[in-house]
Structure 1
Amino acid sequence: MEEPVIYDENQIDDNRVVKDLIAGTCGGVAQVLSGQPFDTTKVRLQSAPEGRYSGAMDVVKQIMKNEGFKGFYKGTLTPLIGVGACVSIQFSVNEYMKRMFGAQNISLGLKDTRLSSWQFYQCGAAAGFANGFLASPIEQIRIRLQVQTADNKLFNGPIDCIKKMYGAGGIQGIYRGIMPTLVRESHGMGMYFLTFEALVKREMALKDCQRKDIPGWKLCMYGAGAGYGMWTTAYPIDVIKSKMQTDSIFPAERKYKNSFDCAKQILRDQGVKGFFRGFGPTMLRAAPVNACTFYAFELACRAMG
């Protein structure tokens, strides 16, 4: 009689949640340091007026010419702290949900208790939704600092940005763009973790090995695939979010009433292609950044046992 496949990953470690948080923070730091130049290029393309830049390379040239290499790392302090926390939440919630579904499959007496693709998606979606409430204000601060230039400087750092946003719009100003952020994070993280976990699951089945036995270069490849899985399905909503979060901080001067109005104006003024501005640098960023993120997370988990 064929033996059942039992899901037992991380089932008996009382410190697993703490370890997941620490490993997630490591992944977040790796993500920011490797991805900030790509992200700055993407955000400037997304939020700039029509005709300001001819493409991604034009953005790079103008940043280098006017601001130097450090211009790519404007607003890095906020995401370095904040994204570390965000990725920590993403990974820890995803791991918790995986354990929950694993226990559920065992309790149902399934022959193969490994998680299904739909369960992996739900794990990621829950992680993204939980993270969205923290990611929204952090990303808004980062984006506002990224897009300002020397001749159009409104904020003197992240703290000043928070003060001015709150002064102009209250807590709603701080959470400008929260709805598209939650949609992007929920679906995007669902696809993100589904892609990575499905590839890991396939590798373990094909090679009859444990997760810790998968070589680092394959983890990097799977992480790159996860990045593509997320951005190819969630990019248009990210454009809407960026537009909302680079609109005026003063309610009376805002161009967009809400997310739907923003989408209508993008479609009217730029057509469908307007929802894919900055897509090139984002896809270039997706492979190295998410390879670094997952590799750092997995290595940290292995180091802590």
Structure 2
Amino acid sequence: MPTNASSPASTSGSSGWMKIGKDIFAGTCGGISVTLVGHPFDTLKIRLQSQPMDKPIYSGVVDCARKTVQWEGLGGLYKGVTSPLAGQMFFRASLFGAFGQSKRWLGTNSDGSARPLKPLDFYKAGAMTGFVAAFTEGPIDFYKSQIQVQIIRAKQVPDYKPPYTTVSECVRATVRESGFRGPFQGLSATLLRNTPANAIYLGNFEMLKQMYCKRYNCTQAEIPGAVVTAAAGLGGCTYWLAIFPVDCIKSAMQTDTVLRSQRKYTDFLTTAKLLWAEGGIKRFYKGFTPCIIRAAPANGVMLLTVEKVTAMLG
């Protein structure tokens, strides 16, 4: 995380832009690391979330992993990975740039002087960050998810020919159909997921670091990497525990057809009602196992990378 969160400084002039630049660069490095580590688990999550309840393609997470490798090779686990990799700079720029700026803003008095952040401030900063980042994460997730579920449609419909097999083809198809709004399919669910989830995720991460520093009388720069990784992993687990049903709704909306006239999941409430009708509360926890397995190592690697890169930049 950028700077010592307990005593942020206000940004002005070139020094302010330098801090934002460091936040963005460190966040991008962290984003690339989390994508490489976590994308296979994300593929399994999306496929389990999106398969039909009445005629499932996969019986569980192990079966999904086995069939993915059997049908598509190891590369199948990385379906759609070009979208998050290509979008990391934009997404992490919004995520860590917004988080760094939010903490500095909350830690600045009206006269421009700095003040220590209160515990609640970390959660406020996380919520603001989640809202802002949804506008970059939404399109990235949308294109990624569209590619990840093509295999499900192929197994459901005989002689199915996917309308697109690459992210670039999907981009062209959505722009033709919906123009600028195309990649924001499911944005309402992304906003409802990201805002509270990042408040919990980033807030808990910062508070755990604060607690460690207080107990061992050290600065955040002196926190061992293993502790940072554990705090980030726990923060990632609380993220998903808090909002997984909303994520399931988001996945349904984002994997729906890009043709607006043929969409089944037209808005957040309609999607929630239809998913409930499919399987009750269990329907909202499809894909939870690979998601929670991924949460600790992927988020631990990401935030540890961010911390170390930020420290290296000074």
TM-score (norm 1): 0.92
Please give the per-residue CA displacement for 1:238-280, whole angstroms capped at 9, x wherever unaligned: 1101000111111221112211000001111110111111011
- 2:205 counterpart (191, 196, 207): 196
TM-superposed CA distance for 1:172, in Å, is: 3.0
Aligned match of 2:301:
292
Aligned to 2:109: 104
Q: Is 1:89 equivalent to 2:89 in the alignment?
A: no
Does the CA-based 8 Å contact 1:10-1:16 persist in structure 2?
no
2:183 paired with 1:178 = no
Long gaps (5+) in structure 1? 1-5
Corresponding residue of 1:36: 39
Counterpart Cα distance in 1 of 2:30 and 2:71: 31
Task: Give the direction of change, closer, same or farther, for the CA distance of 1:257–1:213 in structure 2 (3 Å limit).
Answer: same
Q: SS at the partner of 1:103?
A: coil
Give the distance between the partners of 2:205 and 2:143, measured in 1 at CA: 29
The residue number in structure 2 matching 1:230 is 239
Matched letter for residue 246 of structure 1: T
Are the counterparts in 1 of residues 253 and 271 from structure 2 also a CA contact under 8 Å? Answer: yes
User: CA shift at 1:7, angstroms?
Assistant: 4.2
- Higher mean alpha-carbon deviation, 219-228 vs 97-106, is at 97-106
- Structure 2: how far apart are the matches of 1:122 and 1:253? 39
Once the two structures are superposed, what CA deviation does each residue of 1:101-156 show, in whole Å capped at 9, x if it has no partner?
A: 222399799xxx53223211110111111111111111110000111126552213
Q: Which has the larger displacement, 13-22 or 135-144? A: 13-22
User: TM-score under structure 2 normalisation?
Assistant: 0.89
Gaps of 5+ in 2: 155-159
Moved more, 246-255 or 57-66: 246-255
Q: CA deviation at 1:20?
A: 0.7
Q: Which moved more, 1:13-22 or 1:126-135?
A: 13-22
Match of 2:118 in 1: 116
Pairing of 1:1-305 with structure 2 (within 5 A): 7-9=6-8, 13-14=15-16, 15-50=18-53, 51-104=56-109, 113-149=115-151, 152-305=161-314
User: Aligned Cα RMSD in Å?
Assistant: 2.0
CA-to-aligned-CA distance 1:27-80 (integer Å, 9 cap, x gap):
110110010000000000011111221111111011011001110111111101
In 1, the alpha carbon distance for the partners of 2:263 and 2:107 equals 47
Taking every aligned residue pair, what percent have the same amino acid on both sides? 32
Q: How big is each residue's C-alpha offset from its partner over 1:8-28, in whole Å with a ceiling of 9 and x where there is no partner? A: 345685421111111010111
Q: Structure 1 residues 282, 106: closer, same or farther in 2, change over 3 A?
A: farther
How much has 1:208 moved relative to structure 2?
1.1
1:143 and 1:215, CA in 2 relative to 1: closer, same or farther beyond 3 A? same
CA gap of 1:67–1:16, structure 2 versus 1, over 3 A, is: same
* C-alpha displacement of 1:295: 0.5
Runs of 4+ more than 6 Å apart: 105-109
Q: What does the per-residue CA deviation read over 1:151-193, in whole Å, with 9 as the maximum and x for residues that have no partner?
A: 5522131121011112223333321101110111111111110
Q: Does the 8 Å CA contact 1:24/1:89 hold for their aligned counterparts?
A: no
Matched to 1:30, the amino acid is S
Distance 1:105 1:229, change over 3 A: farther
